[in-house]
Structure formats: C-alpha cells, structure tokens
Structure 1
C-alpha cells in the first residue's frame, strides 16, 4: 500500500507557557454547527462572562479514580469532564513511560503488560473467619455497575433477537412462499427453547473476544513520522491539555474515544468484536508479537490533537472550524490538519467504529494496562510518571 502524505516536521508554535496573549482578541468559540470550513474564525476572550475556566487536571486523584471510582459509576455519563481529561492524560503519560522502557529493553513483554491479570479485573477477594478461628479468603466475580448494565443490555438483545427472527420467518412464509399460516398454528412452540434462551455467565467470556494485530508494523513506523516535530516544545503536556480543555471543552465521551484510538494505534491493535462487554483478551499467538509504535515527546503533541480532532468529529454534533482548532492546538498551517487526520486513520486501519460497549469495555481495559505498568515500575524501581512530565 502506497501512502503519499507530505507533511514536513515543523517547529512547535508554543515556546513558553504564556499562551493566553495569542487569543485575547478573539470573540467567539469558533464553532459553526456541522460546518468544518477553512475560513478564519475566533475564540472566546479570557473575560467572557459565561466561560468558566475548568479545574486543573492535577485536581483529580487518578489513582483513586482507577482503583474505586470506575467501579462506582452507574453510567459513563456519571464520569465528570475533568475526570475524563485526567484519564486521557494518564494514558498519554503511560505511553510515554512505556515507550522509553521499550527503547531501553526491546524484548520487554508487552503482552503481559497489556493483558496480564485481566481476569482479576472483576474479581473481589473477601476474608472470613472459619469455625476454627482461622482467617480464610474466597474470590468472587462481581461485575461493576458499568459492566452489569452492558451485560443486561446484551442479554435483552439476545432474548429479543429470536422473536424478531420468528416474525421474519412468518412474514416470509406468507408473502414469499405463499403458504399462509393458519390462525391456530402452533409454530411458535417449535421455537420454545430458542425463545427462552439467555446469555449465561459461561457464554460471556467467548462473547468478549480478543484483539487482533492491525496493519503491518513497518507501515505504522512510516506513517507515525508524519506526527514528528523538529524539537520538543517548551510547553508541558499538562498545560497543553488544559489549554485544549479551556477553549474546546471536549465531552467525556470524546475524551474516552480519543483514549481508545490512542491506545489502539500505539499497540497496533484492532478489536475482534464490537459488541463485547468484558475487556478484550490478548491477540492470539498466531498473530505474532505485539509491537509498540513509539509515543514520545516529539510526536505526542500532534497525536493528541489528531485523536481529539477525529473523536470530536465522530462524537460531537458541534464541530470547530479548522482555523480555530489550529489556533488552539498550535498547528501553523490549516492544511496540515487534514493530513494529520488522514495519517491517523491509516494508523487505525480506518477502524473507528464506536458504541457504548466499546467505551465501557475500554475503561476497564485501560485500568488493567495502567495497573500492570505501574506494578512493573515499582518492581524495577523505575522513575514514576510525575518525574517524566513533559
């Protein structure tokens, strides 16, 4: 496959953390409904009475959110916007850390970091005293509300599908085969076992499916070069994301979708089943080893703006004009934005389908990855993510 996307590395637009002066004179939010025009546009002034500055990302305790906060969510709608942004930043930090580890140790087992202890993601251990006074423990599989809700929806879908198929059979018998059913027909009784079927706990695991390796790794290495800058910006990732959050305020669903895209392109993965409710398993061994597309300080800024741009277009009805988005994210040329979007789509192999199951599943998928990575860092005495902040 030949891909001709000419995009030279550029110097970063932002050289300092003092960014507000570049947009003080803008007067509206740069949105134009579904219009994504290339015309010049404006942004909200700093003193806009209706524009509330979002809280800093550091105000969110991400560790606590990943440990217990997610389990307590009744719906993804309960996830606060700043919490979603904090999860997105945590993923970016994790990918930067892991890329550095892989560069130092190319034989690092990515499969175990991504999918190790996946089963314990939903396991709760309880301790109790037996009759002899000794303490014993027992493990239980308890689905958090987020997953339990998805399972209920999937089970309802499985229960309703046979009825739909039965009605289709009756219609076909009457209209196409010209064999009308008698009013006292008992054909429904032949489908009794099927109509009473349900999705058992044993069936949930096969339904979850697994990932598969996406397009070839060498091609990904070539495409990702389109995201490189000539030098590392002086702006930190936290400040960059807070700038985006202030002037674009992407919704939680956009941020989780952007995280999902970034995760998949970093590890060259593609989900086998879009209707899964449980975290996906590792790709089969026959797919070969998992390799990582490096996310470092030279390409991370353009990757961030690209996954957010594609997610905004896919999830939100309100699109921001090209020039406004470039002004906020630091792109020097409007023409570069389309090229970056196209490069991202090739990295994802154009697999950008998203539904509620996908986002719910990914939240727990990311938690497993984050736990395994930080367990490895603690075991090796490696530098924590705060010291690697860029």
Structure 2
C-alpha cells in the first residue's frame, strides 16, 4: 500500500530484523515452552533470552519482566493486580489524561469500591503538582501516571513522582508504552514499582507487551490456568512475538539517539512547513512548548474551524495516514478527553490532528504532507 504514514504513535511498521527473528521462530521452533522435551526447552530458552535482553535495556532483573498481550493488558495487570492485594488501602490516584486502558480500569475499580482521584493537568498537559500532593494520603494504594502522553506527547515528571510515592510507601505505576525507544529508561535508578510496555510502538509485532514488576511488589494474578510467568500471567507464551519484541528493543537501544534526532527533525519540519504554507493563526500546536518536556515523535495540531473528522477523511483520500484523539467502538470520532482535560477551547479540541513520525519517514514525505494539509485547509475554508 502506497501513501504517507504519519501514525506511528498508533502502531509502527515492523522492523526487518524483527521479521527475520519471528520468521525463524515460526518456521524453525514450534515447541511449547512448558514442555519438558527438547522442542519445549528451545522455546523456553528463546523466551528467557528475550526476557534478559529487555531487562538489560531498561535496567532491571529478568525475573521482574512479565510478558503480556500488549500495553492494555500490562496496564490492567498493574492496576487490578495491585488492587487484588490492597490490604485495606482503597484510594488510587491517576491523571485525567491517561490512556483508556488506565482510565477504564480505574472506572471498573470504582465500581468495585475503590476511590479514584483524577489529577487535573495544566494547559501544557503536565499534571498539577499541588493537586497530586493533596490527593495522596495514608489510604492511597497506587499512583498511575503515563510517562509520555500518546496524543500530545507531553512528558510527566516521572522521577519526581516516583520519589514522592516511595517516600510515602505508595505503589507507583507508569504507562511507558509511548516512551520506550525514545526515552532513557533505567529502572535500576528510577524508583518505579510497575511499568507497562508494548512491542508494536517501536517496530515490534502487535499483540505482545510486558509489565515490569519490581521484586518488592506482590501482584495478584488476573489470568488463571498454567504456571507461566511465575504464576502471574497464565497462558501459553507467544514465543515468536516475544522474540520479536526483544529484537525491536535491541534495535531501539542501539539507534535511540538517532531515532530521537530524526523524529525531532521531522516534527519541526512539519511544523515549519505548515507555518509557511498556511495563513497566520490558521493552526495551533497542542502540548508542551519545551522540546525537553515532550516526546520527539508526536505533533498535535488543531485547525480551528475545520473538524477533526473532515480533515482526517480528506487526508486519507490523499493517501496520508494521521490520527485524532479518541475513537469509540463504532469508529465515530469523539472529542479528545486529553485535550478537553487540558482546558483547550472546544473549537481547538474539536479540530485536532495527531501526526506521529518514525522509521521510514522522509523529509520529502513531511514537506508533501504539510503542503497537502495546507491545500485541504484552503479548499475547506473557501467553501465555508
């Protein structure tokens, strides 16, 4: 399929090295890792090699890695697993701009009798620190905060939150799905208890992820059956997917600085070309204005007066893949809960487009995409 793909925050093309590793697993090794014969032992060794690779990349012990089906399951396992062993603590603290995997889990925990405090954020997307401090008390079990926002890219002060949580003996979970591969994550130095990852955000396969669970944390299993993943996540392991995940992590670690620089370049190029091609004040950039306070590969832009759905449809007709904020199960667009929580005006929140960049994007594509956006914008404005 031809076109310009600017939706890497949703999913990324699979890296060639990942495809090679997975193909080798799928064609040369079909054992069940729980089996005791040679085929099973080889499958088990593949999983443990992958576990060691990922653990080394993020600075933890291999025993602290739990393989899952992706970021959503990792978030669910962290929250429900911690809640299962709450020992009387009934409060959970999170932010209003989390991924729905966290927000919907929190809503379910509220139905089970837990109290959830949703911390507001500033217009930049960073949480309001004083509100966080006020929300935490002796009854707080867990704080869950996303590392970098999947819609606007704003980074949260994870190290500072981690220190606060550790001082008050509160578990701290981080959804790092968008951050892995772009941020330097060292769990040997960062006092985080639980951290979620997903393979398909950094060139790995869909359907596989991981949860880091510190050795100091007891987690209640949410899937029951066999004794896989040290009895914390039952089910026959996705051997090829896990191997592909490890290959993607190894690649991202090797080329992280290059990927960061390339993403920043493409993001800035897109923003600059939009500024050159569009009338003054035609668009608004959402998120944190400081480069050091945002993920490098996400650019969220609003075009007031043009609905998100209309712009996305026109871009798709031109072969350009971008994204909105949130989508319900029917596929109909909803105004982003992230942008609304940031306090953006309705016409800004309702006209936002997320462009996200990655391996394979070229400068020529970015210029062409920005100019196409400008052409669409002018066409729609002339009709109004």
Shorter chain as denominator, the TM-score bin is: under 0.3
Q: Radius of gyration: which is bigger?
A: 1
Query: Which structure carries more helix by proportion?
Result: 1
- The TM-score normalised by the length of structure 2 is 0.23
TM-score, normalized by length of structure 1?
Answer: 0.23
